[in-house]
């Protein structure tokens, strides 16, 4: 008899094929067709293992899943999983540490350049038969030589540093856990307090986890520390930013622009003022989700599930609740 693996995310056929390729022979895989609460609860109730992504795995869901042995996050953030409830039920929680470093850092880099070059504004105007070449000449910036501040120097932050090296950027970083002197030297990065980083950076890119300590770390006060020509990039979590304060800062020219892949409310509020701003580029929380990265995720999850079942070793970096 196969173990049941319930996938809580709504997944398109091309991604299902990838998952089935690596796990379909070993598990009875059940896929969510919607984010309807009852459907999600029913999937969890039938599961030996949960493939967790965007939906919340809360105490109610865990309490109604009598066979559940392990929750595996497809990604790195576990802020939507009730870890205390998992511990109480002796359910393990794993993640795929470092798996998103390449796609998320690439997205952050793309957003930087797209915001600085007003790419969406140019594209929309051209499609509306408006030639805005003269206007853009007075607006566009290039990335090379800029000072970039990275908030959170984990796997994604480190890979972003590597990408930015080709642009000869000066790179500052802030993290509650400072890197070793050897790592700082090898990467060519300077550790700064958050306030100094915000004041000195022309681009600020967020890569911190969502925790009580990081909640709305970017707010009216910290936004006011930034240069008027600076831009903010967020491919981490919407909880890091006071969205109302960001809207006001963008409207009043306190900062020049923003590139956002994550939001305080997801799906984002259809009435959000961000949707009507020419100096903002938006993406629906897909920075870590590329088709080729789904293969990497599926391979890692298959390996970890096999190790759990057969008593093998799981990398310590993948274990959240052991």
Asked whether the beta carbons of 51 and 9 are under 8 A apart, the reply is yes
Q: What is the pLDDT of residue 77?
A: 87
For 57-99, the pLDDT digits (tens) are 999 999 999 999 999 999 888 999 999 999 999 999 999 999 9
Q: Is the predicted pLDDT of residue 248 greater than 90, yes or no?
A: yes
For 154-197, the pLDDT digits (tens) are 999 999 999 999 999 999 999 999 999 999 999 999 999 999 99
Q: According to DSSP H, which parts of 24-154 are helical?
A: 37-45, 59-63, 83-88, 101-116, 119-127, 133-137
Distances (CA, A) of 183 to 99, 167, 180, 188, 233: 20, 20, 5, 8, 24
Q: Based on the residue annotation, tell me whether 199 is a catalytic residue of this protein.
A: no
What does CATH list as the number for 3-99+289-321? 3.40.50.720
Q: DSSP 3-state helix, strand, coil percentages of the chain (rounded to 5)?
A: 40, 20, 40
Q: Based on the residue annotation, tell me whether 237 is a catalytic residue of this protein.
A: yes
Q: Is the predicted pLDDT of residue 4 greater than 80, yes or no?
A: yes
Q: Is the predicted pLDDT of residue 1 greater than 80, yes or no?
A: no
Residue 206, both tokens? 């967020």
Dist. CA 82–CA 89, nearest whole Å: 11
Residue from 237, 239, 243, 300 carrying the catalytic annotation: 237
Bridge partner residues of 27 (DSSP)? 3
* Mean pLDDT of the chain, nearest integer: 96
Q: What is the pLDDT of residue 291?
A: 87
Q: Is the predicted pLDDT of residue 295 greater than 80, yes or no?
A: yes
Residue from 16, 30, 199, 285 carrying the catalytic annotation: 285
Q: Based on the residue annotation, tell me whether 60 is a catalytic residue of this protein.
A: no
For the chain, where do the domains classified as CATH 3.40.50.720 start and end?
3-99+289-321, 101-282
For 145-165, the pLDDT digits (tens) are 999 999 999 999 999 999 999
What does CATH list as the number for 101-282? 3.40.50.720
Give exposure, 218-228, as e/b (b: 16+ Cβ within 10 Å): bbeebbebbbe
Which H/E stretch holds residue 148?
strand 147-151
Give exposure, 4-14, as e/b (b: 16+ Cβ within 10 Å): bbbbbeebeee
């Amino acid at each position: 008899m196969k173990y049941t693996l319930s996938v809580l995310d709504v997944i398109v056929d091309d991604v299902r094929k990838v998952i089935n390729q690596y796990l379909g022979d070993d598990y009875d895989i059940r896929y969510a067709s919607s984010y309807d609460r009852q459907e999600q609860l029913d999937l969890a109730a039938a599961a030996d293992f949960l493939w967790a992504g965007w939906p919340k795995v809360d105490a109610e869901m865990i309490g109604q899943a009598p066979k559940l042995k392990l929750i595996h996050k497809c990604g790195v953030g576990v802020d939507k999983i009730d870890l205390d409830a998992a511990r109480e039920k002796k359910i393990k929680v794993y993640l795929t540490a470092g798996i998103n470093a390449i796609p998320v850092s690439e997205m952050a880099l793309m957003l930087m350049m797209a915001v600085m070059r007003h790419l969406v504004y140019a594209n929309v105007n051209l499609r509306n038969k408006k030639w805005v070449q003269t206007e853009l000449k007075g607006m566009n910036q290039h990335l090379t030589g800029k000072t970039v501040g990275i908030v959170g120097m984990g796997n994604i932050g480190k890979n972003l540093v590597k990408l930015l090296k080709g642009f000869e950027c000066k790179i500052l970083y802030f993290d509650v856990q400072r890197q070793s002197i050897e790592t700082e030297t090898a990467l060519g990065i300077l550790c700064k307090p958050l306030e100094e980083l915000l004041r000195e950076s022309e681009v600020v890119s967020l890569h911190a986890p969502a925790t009580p300590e990081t909640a709305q770390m970017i707010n009216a006060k910290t936004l006011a520390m930034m240069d008027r020509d600076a831009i903010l990039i967020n491919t981490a979590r919407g909880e890091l930013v006071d969205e109302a304060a960001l809207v006001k800062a963008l409207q009043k020219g306190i900062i020049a622009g923003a590139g956002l892949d994550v939001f305080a409310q997801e799906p984002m509020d259809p009435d959000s003022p961000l949707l009507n701003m020419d100096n903002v580029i938006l993406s629906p929380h897909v920075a870590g989700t590329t088709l080729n990265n789904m293969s990497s995720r599926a391979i890692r999850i298959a390996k970890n599930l096999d190790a759990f079942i057969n008593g093998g070793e799981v990398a310590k970096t993948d274990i959240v609740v052991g």
